[in-house]
Amino acid sequence: MSARLTSDARAALGSAGFSRRSFLRGSGAMVVAFAAARSTGLESLVSAQGINGRSATALDAWIAITADSRVLAYTGKCELGQGLYTAQVQLVAEELDVPLSRVALTMCDTAATPDQGTTSGAQSHPANFNQANLALACATARQALVGLAAQRLNLPAANLATGDGAVFVKGEPSRRVAYGDLVGGRKFMLDLDATAKRKNAADWKVLGTPVPRLDLPAMVTAQLEYVHTVRVPGMLHGRVVRPPSVGATLAGVDEASVRGMPGLVRVVVRKNFVGVVAEKPFQAVQIAEKLKVSWTPGPAIPAQAEYYDHLRKDRASRDTFLLDSGDVDQSLRGARTVVSATYLHPFHMHGSVGSSCAVADVQPGKATLWSATQAVYPMRDTAAQLLGLQPADVRVLFTRGSGCYGINGADTVTYDAALLSQAVGRPVRVQLTRRDEMAWENFGNAFVIDQRAGLDAAGTIVAWDYEAWSPALGGRPGYDSPGNVVTGWLAGFAPAASTPRAPAPAPNTPLNNNLNTAPSYVTGCVGGVCRGTGTVRSERVLSHRTVSPFFTGPLRAPERFQNTFAHESFMDEIAAAAKADPVEFRLRHVRDERLRAVVRTAAGAAKWDARPSPRAGRPAAGVARGRGISCVLYEGDNGYVAIVAEVEVDQASGTITVTRLTGAQDCGPISNPDGVKNQFEGGALHGMSRALFEEVSWSDQRVTSVDWRGYHTFAVGVRTPAVEAVLVNQPSAPANGAGETAITVVAAAIGNAVFDATGARLREIPFTPARVKAALSSRGTA
Amino acid sequence: MSQMTLLVNGRSHTVDVDPATPLLFVLSDDLALKGPKFGCGLGQCGACTVIVRGQAIRSCITPVESVQRAEITTLDGLGTIESPHPLQQAFIDEQAAQCGFCLSGVILSAKALVDRTPAPTDDEIDRALSGVLCRCFAHTRMRKAIRRYAASRRA
């Protein structure tokens, strides 16, 4: 097979015995015919999540059976390092009763897989492991195979069972027909059947077990293909030259400055986009460094030191009431005690360990893109816009990248490679510099969050008021906005527009707490429909969205990390004002049983010391120890989590050492317990890094955190806390996401533990030693 | 451009490159090795790590001319899928990776350490991995895998 395929695709196609393209082409007419003939309601079933793209209703788009009874499966949800390749192979093996080794899964190739939009938002497990999409395709295929065998054997389907790639007669396992003999190499020509029966979780043998990552042996022996290792014949090497500062526009390029340099193929300019193409990668580096480019500075941006004040004062905002019971000011006036606090969160970056890379081969009327984008189909459409092609002319092959959890430079560098390849008519590989990765990625949003809460005489919360300001610019390009990332913008496309709106209209749709903007403790009532998890009826949630000076986008637990830090730290402040134990106080104000269960389970596993915070008898100097808790129902409906953090605070230096993170997580049925644990551990430590160290910095319109000396995290050589996860399995509940739950609650759990240890409240991320010391010295005066 | 001979994973290669080219570019572009990867180009993250003369070094900031005729080992050269090196096997046993991009830094820094210090203390592991980043934060499992490998060497 061609070296242009991903290794996963090669594994799937190499042994398939037929061309996937012709296979799909042949079934295309059938898809249309079935769609016209039968209205199954599948459209709503598969498109409930906008994030999940257009999907596919034809079984043949998802599953094929080879003549030798292997199963070829096709998914639009990709492996980003989270273990989804293995989990999806488990799903297929389980539902179709074949060994893992007889499943070949192709991920995210616009020429082969269903359009499942973007692999993001903790939506892969919900999308493909419930009664829809891949899981439903497997169930439909199994049902069809049993039906075919019933005809072949002239027996009722009820008398048949499946196992080891065959249908057999119950009680007579030697009377069997292999899948390959029933349909091998041919199409099913069926629609997904919304009523096809999946296996009961109680009967699972493969799914739900800790199958080791199938890709790990290739990964640790350096045999796994990443987009960074893709090499195609005739490939050249590109390098981009980004503007020096935010908003700068191109004034001129002096091509004579690099004329005659070894390996130079071309200097490429398109509006404000500048790049060079050379024969070898180091030549491209040298040429890009030498190229004289002049820029006109963009409009001034606020200084970092004044940025939070600026955010609050920016009047060009789009204002939204998520909740407003209309009586919050009155409730607060009548409260015995009012607690108020402001929480601050900086811009964060994905900071992938590998700077982003892509390979593009753009020929007249045709383009092939090897990309680590999390959104192959949207990328196909927006790259077509950028290149002046039709989407059908563009093929995007997802090829693994460096761990991302959002939108690092993968999308923008794909555009870079595409533009450069189009200019020279040959395949071009581009890898960003560390600086270009870090200065121009789509950062996670900064936030200013004001909260007020009222307590009655019994120490019960009677009102909760939330008002937040956060900036945004661009984001995922989606299907039509290449200007949402820097390269598209440089090439002349505008970011998706933001429309100011003030005052905010009254809320008129039932609560959708997708961004965890509403705290867990309010009832979340709109028009009599109450979708919150808590008990506080007097509630107001008002958000102001302003325009960001930097590109922003979804970063692991996007906005939910920021909001949950504020809510869960503030809940701790209220509990302290009520002199209540933080766990007991939470349980008193949460009515959702599954959220209550993870709080109790995490507290139990951590051997929670029930008492109010801060700890009585804590030392005023030296090392102080404490514990804190935090919880959330992620995205309002996508997984429950609670974490207890234990910390030591060196009060002389202001250094926080997290000694233990103990959590409980309920994400519905567990598809792979070790995979979920790996995500929990990684998410917990990622959250710790963001809470303690991470902050984008800038000066004079230039991002200054452009390498690992300017953007802080912690190395593998830094001793990490023990991380323990209790996984709560819910076999009969819907499958939820599991990759972004743990990270969401970590910052507040750590901040609450610091308060317990010292009585000092941390309200600004990251919790640097300087901020810890400032909080320590203002103890008792707040 | 000039001709240079490199001894990589037990095989000799002659390449014709600018002597100032970083070793990483030669390994990944001229020799098509998949192990060492470009992470930062500044020697700050470890993704490009290779072992030269027993030391884990950063190939992204090492001019190729400085390692001519030296024994160079990349992650590709340790073991195979069918027969992984015991350290690679320890990473499989502990399921110690997520995206895997950082593994050259983690595994080769650990190998160089254990090769010269068969029973490393936790402090020695800290120091050997002090410049290696994993942004999926598989730290806990990676450190377990390294300790498992070191223990197996002592057994």
B97 in the same domain as B70: no
Cβ contact A434–B41 (<8 Å): yes
Query: 3-class DSSP state for residue A373?
Result: coil
B70 in the same domain as B94: no
B111 in the same domain as B63: no
Q: Which helix (H) or strand (E) holds B51?
A: strand B49-52
CATH pick for A7-220 out of 2.40.128.20, 3.30.9.10, 3.30.365.10, 3.10.20.520? 3.30.365.10
Domain containing B129 equals: 86-154
Say which residues have a Cβ less than 8 Å from residue A413's Cβ, sequence separation at least 6.
A356, A357, A358, A430, A431, A432, A487
B99 in the same domain as B71: no
Residue A705: list chain B partners with CB under 8 A.
none
Burial class (CB in 10 A: 0-12, 13-18, 19+), A743: buried
Nearest to B138 among A223, A401, A682 (CB): A682
Q: Which of B31, B54, B77 is the last residue of a domain?
A: B77
B115 in the same domain as B64: no
Expressed in angstroms, the distance from the first to the final Cα of chain A is: 68
Q: Give the Cα separation of B91 and B94 in Å (integer).
A: 5
B15 in the same domain as B49: yes
Report the residue of A84, A221, A677 to disrupt the B interface, i.e. the one with the largest count of B CBs within 10 Å: A221
Kindly report whether the peptide bond that precedes residue A614 is cis, defined as omega within 30 degrees of 0: yes
ipTM of the complex: 0.98
Q: Which of B39, B54, B77 is the last residue of a domain?
A: B77
Computed over its alpha carbons, how large is the radius of gyration of chain B? Answer: 15
C-alpha dihedral sign at A301, A302, A307, A313: negative
Residue A218: list chain B partners with CB under 8 A.
81
Q: Give the Cα separation of A408 and A553 in Å (integer).
A: 9
In this predicted structure, what is the pLDDT of residue A57? 93
- DSSP symbols for A37-56: H---SHHHHH-SSGGG-S--
Is residue A474 within 8 Å of A554, Cβ to Cβ? no
Q: Which helix (H) or strand (E) holds A413?
A: helix A410-424
Cβ contact A80–B99 (<8 Å): yes
Q: Give the Cα separation of B111 and B131 in Å (integer).
A: 15
Q: Give the Cα separation of B36 and A731 in Å (integer).
A: 42
Cβ contact A707–B92 (<8 Å): no
Q: CA triplet A115, A118, A124: central angle to 5 degrees?
A: 95
Q: Which helix (H) or strand (E) holds A541?
A: strand A538-547
For each of chain B's 155 residues, which pLDDT tens digit applies?
A: 899 999 999 999 999 999 999 999 999 999 999 999 999 999 999 999 999 999 999 999 999 999 999 999 999 999 999 999 999 999 999 999 999 999 999 999 999 999 999 999 999 999 999 999 999 999 999 999 999 999 998 87
The total number of structural domains that make up chain B: 2
B6 in the same domain as B38: yes
CA distance A26 to chain B (A): 36
Which residue bears the tokens 């996937």? Answer: A20
Considering all CA atoms of chain B, what is the largest pairwise distance in Å, rounded to the nearest integer? 49
Residue B124: list chain A partners with CB under 8 A.
none
In this predicted structure, what is the pLDDT of residue A780? 66
Cβ contact A686–B107 (<8 Å): no
Say which residues have a Cβ less than 8 Å from residue A476's Cβ, sequence separation at least 6.
A118, A120, A375, A378, A407, A411, A442, A484, A553, A554
Residue B128: list chain A partners with CB under 8 A.
717
Please give the mean pLDDT across all residues of chain A.
Answer: 93
Domains A7-220 and A314-347+445-777 fall in the same CATH topology: yes
Q: Give the Cα separation of A312 and A544 in Å (integer).
A: 9
Helical packing angle, B86-93 and B139-154, nearest 10°: 130
Is residue A475 within 8 Å of A442, Cβ to Cβ? yes
Q: Give the Cα separation of A483 and A496 in Å (integer).
A: 7
pLDDT beneath 70: ranges in chain A: 1-52, 780-782
B93 in the same domain as B37: no
Residue A219: list chain B partners with CB under 8 A.
97, 100, 103
Q: Which of B77, B110, B142 is the last residue of a domain?
A: B77
Cβ contact B142–A216 (<8 Å): no
Burial class (CB in 10 A: 0-12, 13-18, 19+), A392: exposed
Which CATH number belongs to the domain containing residue B150 in this structure?
Answer: 1.10.150.120
Cβ contact B137–A217 (<8 Å): no
In this predicted structure, what is the pLDDT of residue A12? 35
Strand A236-240 with A428-431, pairing: parallel
CB neighbourhood size of A582 (10 A): 28
Question: A-B interface: how many C-beta pairs under 8 angstroms?
Answer: 196
B53 in the same domain as B96: no
Burial class (CB in 10 A: 0-12, 13-18, 19+), A435: middle
B125 in the same domain as B103: yes
Residue A89 phi, psi (nearest 5): -65, -40
In this predicted structure, what is the pLDDT of residue A51? 59
Report the residue of B139, B142, B143, B144 to disrupt the A interface, i.e. the one with the largest count of A CBs within 10 Å: B139
- Determine the distance from the C-alpha atom of residue A499 to the mean position of all C-alpha atoms in its chain, rounded to a whole number: 26
CATH 3.30.365.10 fits A314-347+445-777, yes or no: yes
Residue A357: list chain B partners with CB under 8 A.
38
In this predicted structure, what is the pLDDT of residue A655? 98
Say which residues have a Cβ less than 8 Å from residue A480's Cβ, sequence separation at least 6.
A381, A382, A385
Select from A496, A516, A491 the least CA-distant residue to A422. A491
In this predicted structure, what is the pLDDT of residue A30? 28
Q: Give the Cα separation of A494 and A551 in Å (integer).
A: 12
In this predicted structure, what is the pLDDT of residue A50? 39
- Determine the distance from the C-alpha atom of residue A522 to the mean position of all C-alpha atoms in its chain, rounded to a whole number: 26
Beta strand residue intervals within A373-528, DSSP E? 394-398, 428-431, 447-455, 461-472, 525-526
Select from A119, A116, A110, A191 the least CA-distant residue to A392. A110
- Could you tell me the residue ranges of all domains in chain A? 7-220, 227-297+350-440, 314-347+445-777
Q: Give the Cα separation of B141 and B137 in Å (integer).
A: 9
Beta strand residue intervals within A255-317, DSSP E? 264-270, 273-278, 292-296
Residue A229: list chain B partners with CB under 8 A.
28, 34, 37
Select from B50, B53, B43, B60 the least CA-distant residue to B109. B50
- Return the HEC string of B85-111: CHHHHHHHHCCCCCCCCCHHHHHHHHH
Kindly report whether the peptide bond that precedes residue A364 is cis, defined as omega within 30 degrees of 0: no
Residue A135 phi, psi (nearest 5): -65, -40
Which residue bears the tokens 């995979």? Answer: A675
User: In A269-375, which residue ranges form alpha helices assigned H by DSSP?
Assistant: 281-290, 307-313, 328-334
Residue A353: list chain B partners with CB under 8 A.
39, 45, 47, 101-102, 133-135
CATH pick for A227-297+350-440 out of 1.10.10.10, 3.30.1490.190, 3.30.365.10, 3.40.30.10? 3.30.365.10
Residue A353 phi, psi (nearest 5): -70, -35
Expressed in angstroms, the distance from the first to the final Cα of chain B is: 49
The residue length of chain B stands at 155
Name residue A702's beta-bridge partners: A699
Q: Give the Cα separation of A8 and A218 in Å (integer).
A: 11
CA distance A85 to chain B (A): 11
In this predicted structure, what is the pLDDT of residue A639? 97
Cβ contact A353–B22 (<8 Å): no
- Return the HEC string of B124-154: HHHHHCCCCCCCCCCHHHHHHHHHHHHHHHH
Report the residue of B82, B98, B108 to disrupt the A interface, i.e. the one with the largest count of A CBs within 10 Å: B98
Q: Give the Cα separation of A569 and A574 in Å (integer).
A: 9
Beta strand residue intervals within A619-654, DSSP E? 623-633, 640-650
Q: Which residue of A has its CA nearest to B123?
A: A717
Cβ contact A715–B40 (<8 Å): no
Burial class (CB in 10 A: 0-12, 13-18, 19+), A193: middle
Query: 3-class DSSP state for residue A689?
Result: helix
Residue B97: list chain A partners with CB under 8 A.
81, 213, 216, 219-220
Strand A357-363 with A428-431, pairing: antiparallel
B145 in the same domain as B93: yes
B11 in the same domain as B45: yes
Which CATH number belongs to the domain containing residue B59 in this structure?
Answer: 3.10.20.30
Q: Which residue of B has its CA nearest to A213?
A: B95
Is residue A426 within 8 Å of A235, Cβ to Cβ? yes
Cβ contact B127–A723 (<8 Å): no
